[in-house]
Amino acid sequence: MISEIFNTLVYKPLYNSLILLLWFIPGANMGYAIIVLTVLVRGVLFPFSHKSITAQKKMQALDGKIKEIKEKYSDKQDQATKTMALYKEHGVNPFSGCLFLLIQLPIIFALYWVFSRGIVTSGVDLSLLYSFVHAPTNISFHFFGFNLTEKSIILALCAGATQYLQMRLSLPSKSVSSQIKKTDGSIQFSEEFKNALAIQSRYILPVMIFIFAYQFQSAIALYWTTNNIFSIIHEYSVARKAKKLLLKA
């Protein structure tokens, strides 16, 4: 039941969109089709991702005030109440990122199947095509010297490197001196854990993405690189605007 809903609402529309794009791209080049489809999907998800990133940047900009609240109020309930009031004052929804993640995950899985199993390795499955979509006679899998049906360490490195840059923007480094300390001078466990998690995400995730991208056809690495570049541009733009909004508040 779930797989049928997934195929009908997510996988087949993306599959047909990629085939349809190949008709309009010169030479039916799969590389360009992957880039265009990735950008189109991110464009559709833009309202959700924009709210999520904006909230994240504002929360980071408010980090100093949140630490002041934690230093001033020892009671956890008081801390939560004052923190939520601060978020409300600056128009921040701390749960917006969860909605974007729930929407994005099935699309990520569907794109993975489209690129890795759906076309690149098995060819076009005519049974999945809508009546108004027809498969091109010849599809080119060569993109700037890369064969998208094979592994590519260069494209895998691009995927890992752009993931690192994206994580640097979304998780800016913080000095230990900015962490909250107890009266005895020890760093609070919650802050220590949060910082450790941020460091792991910034360095370990890009390595994992590189390893993952190199395990499959380079079409996956091209998709991931394009997706990361879109996120980097978006993150940078929102970060600048978030700072301006907070300065006016």
- Mean pLDDT, 10 residues at a time, the chain of 249 residues: 86 92 92 94 87 77 80 82 83 72 81 76 82 89 91 95 88 50 48 62 86 90 93 83 55
Read off the pLDDT of residues 74-109 as tens digits, 9 standing for 90 and up.
888 888 888 888 888 877 777 766 767 777 788 888
pLDDT at 249: 46
Contacts of 53 (CB under 8 A, 6+ apart): 170, 234, 235, 238
Scanning the structure block, which residue is given the tokens 């265009």?
36
Instruction: Supply the range of the domain harboring residue 215.
Output: 2-248
Host H or E run for residue 146: strand 146-147
pLDDT at 185: 46
Domain count, the chain: 1
pLDDT at 29: 94
In the chain, which residue ranges form alpha helices assigned H by DSSP?
2-6, 12-24, 30-44, 46-61, 63-72, 76-89, 96-113, 153-170, 189-215, 218-248
pTM over cut 0.85: no
pLDDT at 130: 92
Read off the pLDDT of residues 201-215 as tens digits, 9 standing for 90 and up.
678 889 999 999 998
The CA distance from 143 to 121, in Å, is: 16
pLDDT at 53: 79
Tell me which residue of 137, 110, 152 sits closest to 12, measured CA to CA: 110
The CA distance from 177 to 164, in Å, is: 24
pLDDT at 147: 92
pLDDT at 184: 45
pLDDT at 187: 46
pLDDT at 210: 94
